[in-house]
Chains A and B, each alone.
Chain A
């Protein structure tokens, strides 16, 4: 497989979970991205420095410890103000410690306002398929267009 686009895969500084990042690396690789996985507890400075060194087709923040709505917002603001990255920035997993739809909607709005293009909280609704479709679409726009026309 030839990888034309790079996905930068990361999490928030307080999150020490690994399996979500390992799985996302598998998934994005399967779809066709070259994945750079920065691993758990990623310092924000490292994400910023990495984006300033090499551009990425997208940034995927995967977090499950419930601090995503706090640290994720800060990370998005920093990516949008301290780097030239204008392409997609996505966050997903469990973005807060609550799992009622209102709270998730409220935090999702905050995260989008901070600079995320899309928020995929997976604790109540299955937002996973939507994420998969979206990242596939970016890699294979023609195929995606055909699918939309077929609908």
Chain B
């Protein structure tokens, strides 16, 4: 099986950022067509199998009922489909295109998924005990840590080149100070590494200003170099994950800003969005068109804007994220206990995250430069100023007159 991290680093050096869709279908024939189309596209790609919501919460009976009644799920039920069938999908992409496949799932308790990946021989996935627990589940954080410890041990001992991407750069999708995203990436990375995962990637989701994003990703890269061995990781940038522009022009402009930041910082992999984001799940052709559009932007002179470097904002993110990382690690000599303690004390907290184990004292404001800055204490916004901040990128990129 291809080593995902090595593959991404090599392809980045040869051809620039590697592009990746979100893609998952319940029907194996459609899944195969989607993988094949991604691999055969004119863009520099890696492939994705996104799992369905029932598999995510380990409700395998519900997934089976949907398969038996031929009802469409919102992803590929990897545990219900026979392993040989999934292995055949992966082998075909490997044999024909020499491309790896990443499994994307969103589960606070991924043991059943990782066991199946080991059976298939699939080493590459994403998530983490914090990033897949707090924003999308009611699982107590302590339980999620236990689940992920076990699952990581199963994956790392079961395959040669285990790779996990920390999803911590995407907490809540928007309205989060990059200081928190950067610190959590490093902390979750340390957890994954401590439980045997061989190579890592660190994520970062586009915010409301490519200038702030460039400053933040630069800080993330510096901190990663402090804590992890060179060559054992890469970075992945996400096109904006919050309330998304509705027009085709808005899609092109917001994607252009994300790619410009990615090119300026040397981020090696990109998770793309499509123009139908604000309305529905994209079809395969829409994903391929978006991948090829991104490829065009990255490889055509003069398409992408220049992104200035804000050294003051970079310094702020670097210094504050370092303080959070060191403060969290100081809570306990056991890493999981340290991170649990840091959330319990409120040192670490995710603004607007409703999970019971997340302290809700923190908020986020948009500065005059369109930067996300965190604050503690009394809220400063009302319902409508808050809604306006959530919709900031619609205003910026759709430019409704």
Q: Which residues of A contact B (CB under 8 A)?
A: 14, 16, 18-19, 21-23, 26-27, 29-30, 37, 39-41, 43
Contacts and interface: CB of A to CB of B under 8 A. Distances in A.
Contact of A26 (B137, B355, B386): B386
5 contacts: A18-B353, A19-B390, A22-B354, A26-B382, A40-B138
Contacts of B172: 18-19
A41 B59 CA distance: 14
Interface residues of B, number: 19
A22 B242 CA distance: 14
Contact of A27 (B136, B138, B354, B383): B383
B352 A39 contact: no
Given A18-B353, A26-B383, A40-B354, 16 more contacts: A18-B135, A18-B354, A19-B172, A19-B242, A19-B352, A19-B390, A22-B386, A23-B383, A23-B390, A26-B386, A27-B383, A37-B354, A39-B355, A40-B138, A41-B138, A43-B138
B354 A21 contact: yes
B138 A26 contact: no
Contacts of B271: none
Contacts of B353: 18
Contacts of B382: 26, 30
Interface of B: 53, 135-138, 172, 242-243, 352-356, 381-383, 386-387, 390
B141 to A, nearest CB: 14
- Name B's interface SS: loop
B51 to A, nearest CB: 14
Contacts, number: 41
B266 to A, nearest CB: 32
Given A14-B53, A23-B386, A23-B390, A39 B354 contact: yes
A68 to B, nearest CB: 16
Contacts of B355: 39
Contacts of A30: 382-383
A16 B137 CA distance: 7
A30 to B, nearest CB: 5
Contacts of B242: 19
Contacts of B356: 39
Count chain A CB atoms within 10 A of each CB in B242, B382, B386 and give the residue with the most.
Answer: B386
Nearest to A99: B279
A16 B136 contact: yes
A30 B356 CA distance: 22
Q: Of B243, B352, B355, which is in contact with the most chain A CB atoms at under 10 Å from its CB?
A: B352
A30 B382 CA distance: 7
